[in-house]
Amino acid sequence: MRRLLVLGAAALAATAFLAACATRPAAPVAELAPSGKLRAAINFGNPILAVRTADGSPRGVSVDLSNELGKRLGVPVELVTFNSAGKVVEAVRDAQVDIAFVAIDPVRGAEMLQTPAYVIIEGAYLVRKDSPLQRNEEVDQAANRVVVGNGSAYDLYLTRELKAAKLVKAPTSPAVTDVMVAQNVEVAAGVKQQLEADAKRVPGVRLLPGRFMVINQAMGLPKGRDAGARYLTGFVEEMKSSGFVAAALARHGIEGAAVAPPAPAR
């Protein structure tokens, strides 16, 4: 009887193991975690996505999504941190990471695969309080220079859109206001939430009302991983519809961002 109980327990354990293996998406795991772990790029350059805690570890919406994806794939998660979106894009392009959280942009889309958006973020302008500029539409003048984070979504967008104003590149997006002040530049451009915090931190500056662009934030992965991209697209849509993204935004006290609408059916 004892031997039968042992054999029965072993059979049950084997059945559970096989069932767990059967539920793991084999093709996506092979493409999203080819090394056996999910290497997720976390960008500290955008405070809506991630911030450093007191001990230096990352926390935020992108961290929560990375951990949930790793859980579903059944693999450990390695958080690889960066200080700018430009460095994240390079890491994805060179397959140094498996997933990333980046703005949808045609330039970036040429170097990686991207999902539909999961979060929508506003881009804003910041100027000095005594600046004659009052509206976003007034920025694009030859007399104005605009500081942007090098390689950021704002850099890419304004490179295409500005016809007269000149761009000045800051090393990272969180540095744009300090560069604007230090170099006496007319305008800084970036994440609205970041610039609102800067306006409280730095005396003598203000935001122009409204926004000059909307950023659709998506998940990205190296090119050639089509099965992984299909899985990620389904994952993003579920994270939006289930309330996971909204709960993460609320949990981390994020304002100035909204859950993206469902992607159109293909």
Per-residue pLDDT tens for 51-96? 999 998 999 999 999 999 999 999 999 999 998 888 999 999 999 9
Check whether residue 48 and residue 158 sit in a common domain.
no
How far is residue 228's CA from residue 206's CA, in Å, rounded to a whole number? 43
What pLDDT band is residue 10 in, cutting at 50, 70 and 90? Answer: very low
pTM summary value: 0.76
Q: For residue 223, which amino acid is it?
A: K
Query: Domains in the chain: how many in total?
Result: 2
What's the distance, Cα to Cα, between the start and end of the chain in Å? 58
Helix axes 226-241, 244-251, angle to 10 degrees: 70
Q: For residue 261, is it within any domain?
A: no
Average pLDDT over residues 9-35: 60
What pLDDT band is residue 105 in, cutting at 50, 70 and 90? Answer: confident
Check whether residue 91 and residue 42 sit in a common domain.
yes
Average pLDDT over residues 223-228: 95
Average pLDDT over residues 234-262: 94
Average pLDDT over residues 40-54: 91
65: Cβ contacts below 8 Å, ≥ 6 apart: 101, 118, 219, 239, 244, 245, 248
Domain that holds residue 30: 2-119+217-256
Q: What percentage of the chain has pLDDT greater than the value 70?
A: 90
Higher pLDDT: 193 or 125? It is 125
Q: For residue 95, is it within any domain?
A: yes
Helix (H) or strand (E) holding 215: strand 213-221
How far is residue 115's CA from residue 104's CA, in Å, rounded to a whole number? 9
pLDDT of 35 higher than 90: yes
Q: Which of 66, 124, 61 is nearest to 97 (CA)?
A: 66
**Whole-number pLDDT of residue 113:** 96
Q: For residue 66, is it within any domain?
A: yes
Average pLDDT over residues 206-217: 94
Worst-scoring range by mean pLDDT, 1-10, 18-27, 132-141, 182-191?
1-10
Q: Whole-number mean pLDDT of the chain? A: 89
For residue range 22-32, what is the model confidence (pLDDT) as tens digits?
Answer: 445 677 899 99
pLDDT of 234 higher than 80: yes
Check whether residue 64 and residue 169 sit in a common domain.
no
Check whether residue 115 and residue 225 sit in a common domain.
yes
Average pLDDT over residues 120-131: 95
What pLDDT band is residue 9 in, cutting at 50, 70 and 90? Answer: very low
Check whether residue 115 and residue 129 sit in a common domain.
no
Worst-scoring range by mean pLDDT, 12-21, 42-51, 103-112, 145-154?
12-21
Check whether residue 21 and residue 32 sit in a common domain.
yes
The CATH number assigned to the domain holding 200 equals: 3.40.190.10
